Amino acid sequence: MILSDNEIDEKKVLTQPLDVKAFNHAGIEADLLRLDLIHPVISGNKWFKLKYYLTDAVNNNAKHITTAGGAYSNHIVASAYACKLYGLACTGIIRGEKPTALSPTLIAAEKYGMQLQFISREKYSLKEYPEIEGSYFIEEGGYGQPGAKGAGEITALTKSFASYSHIICAVGTGTMLAGIIMKTDQSQQTEGISVMKNNFGLEEKVRNLLPEEYSSKKIIIHHDYHFGGYAKHPPELVSYMNQFYIETGIPTDVIYTSKMIYAVNDLAKRGYYPKGSRLLLIHSGGLQGNLSLPAGSLSF
């Protein structure tokens, strides 16, 4: 197996205390798990979400993978790279007509050997994907139980996982949130920050990934920190990313982690977290998505 845990440079994985004013004022401690540092291409949670799919594909003698995503999808580029490592051919079904200039994400995916098939937004939203015979299909964003199982293993990268009262991550499909929920005990609260607008079906999508024995677990998702919707980034968000970088030296991505950290900051200011709380924030990577911003927007 190629996409194994020991390919991750664990020395690089840092759980790092966040010295942020809002947290100090609120009397809480917050650590950040830097999954952005584990791999230059398959960064963050994508590594973990993919591994059980690819293992399953190889075990079933699949030679080809198909998956789907948008032009800036971290999942697309991570899948392309992971398939290359596994020696699997792969096709990415991309939302929207082929543009005259490919996004940096798609250029990279093609470089790693992914074949791109563009389909209209209408077809994409109806999941009318072209059939590729004999291909192993991975849902958009790696949504599914194998993805959640892999994502749960993120928690093993921090030595004192049991010591945190709250674990907080960004939410796209909810796969990572489900994986983390499965690793927490009754005293720990897991919270997701949705990066999409009014995506109120998420709680149920997360619930559907949890086996029966987790049915007593609460699913907490904050829906007010989408900044206008998926991939929307008003100047206020970009300036927060720059400010957070100046305060901590940590880069965030414009689609997920910046909205998550902003949300926790805001919730802390509002007194949402009881004094003495110990928060673990998951930096789930995704920095390549910042290439979608105009040059010069970010100070890092």
Ligand X SMILES: *Cc1c(COP(=O)(O)O)cnc(C)c1O
The residues of the shown chain that bind ligand X, judged by CB under 6 A, are: 44-46, 74-75, 141, 170-177, 253, 256-257, 284-286
Please say which residue, 123 or 205, places its beta carbon nearer to ligand X. Answer: 205
Please say which residue, 188 or 258, places its beta carbon nearer to ligand X. Answer: 258
Q: Report the distance separating Cα 295 and Cα 16, nearest Å.
A: 29
The least CB distance from residue 2 to ligand X, in Å, is: 21
The least CB distance from residue 272 to ligand X, in Å, is: 21
The least CB distance from residue 47 to ligand X, in Å, is: 10
The least CB distance from residue 74 to ligand X, in Å, is: 4
Backbone angles phi, psi at 218, to 5 degrees: -80, 145
User: Which residue's C-beta sits nearest to ligand X?
Assistant: 286
Two tokens, residue 111: 């470089």
Closest Cα partner for 167 from 295, 31, 286, 72? 31
Q: Report the distance separating Cα 56 and Cα 58, nearest Å.
A: 5
The least CB distance from residue 24 to ligand X, in Å, is: 26
Burial 234-251 (b: 16+ CB within 10 A, else e): eeebbebbeebbeebebb
Closest Cα partner for 251 from 35, 46, 102, 100? 35
Please say which residue, 74 or 277, places its beta carbon nearer to ligand X. Answer: 74
Please say which residue, 26 or 51, places its beta carbon nearer to ligand X. Answer: 51
The least CB distance from residue 93 to ligand X, in Å, is: 17
Please say which residue, 26 or 147, places its beta carbon nearer to ligand X. Answer: 147
DSSP, collapsed to helix, strand or coil, labels residue 4 as coil
Query: Any idea what DSSP says for residue 39?
Result: -
- Tokens 């543009």 locate to 99
Residues 6+ apart with CB under 8 A from 275: 26, 27, 28
Question: 269 with 26: CB under 8 angstroms?
Answer: yes
Please say which residue, 26 or 138, places its beta carbon nearer to ligand X. Answer: 138
Helix (H) or strand (E) holding 281: strand 278-283
Please say which residue, 175 or 265, places its beta carbon nearer to ligand X. Answer: 175
The least CB distance from residue 203 to ligand X, in Å, is: 13
